[in-house]
Amino acid sequence: MAVAGPMVLVAAAVWTVQAQPRALREAISVLPASVAQPVLGGLDALAVGLAPRRDGLRWIEVADPSSRKADKLQVGSR
C-alpha cells in the first residue's frame, strides 16, 4: 500500500496534464510569478514528453490555434 499512494498521485498528475491542460495552467497562473514560471515550464516539458508521435512529429492539441506562435509564417508588407 505504501507504493500505491505515490503511484496514484503520479498517474493523476499525468492524466491532468494530458486531459485538462487549460484548467491546470489557469490554476498555476494564480501563483506568484517566481513560482508559476518554473512550474509552467515543467508542465510544458511534460506535455511535450507525453505527446503522441504522428508521422515522426510530436502531436500536441491546441485548443485555440491563434495561440500558436512558433508555426506562424512571417508576412512582410506588400
The domain limits of the chain are 3-67
- List Cβ neighbours of 24 (8 Å cut-off, separation of 6 or more): 16, 17, 43
pLDDT value of position 32 = 92
The pTM of the full predicted model, rounded to 2 decimals, is: 0.55
Q: What is the pLDDT of residues 9-51, one digit of tens each?
A: 888 877 877 777 778 888 888 989 999 999 888 888 887 887 7
pLDDT score of 2 more than 70: yes
- List Cβ neighbours of 52 (8 Å cut-off, separation of 6 or more): 58, 59
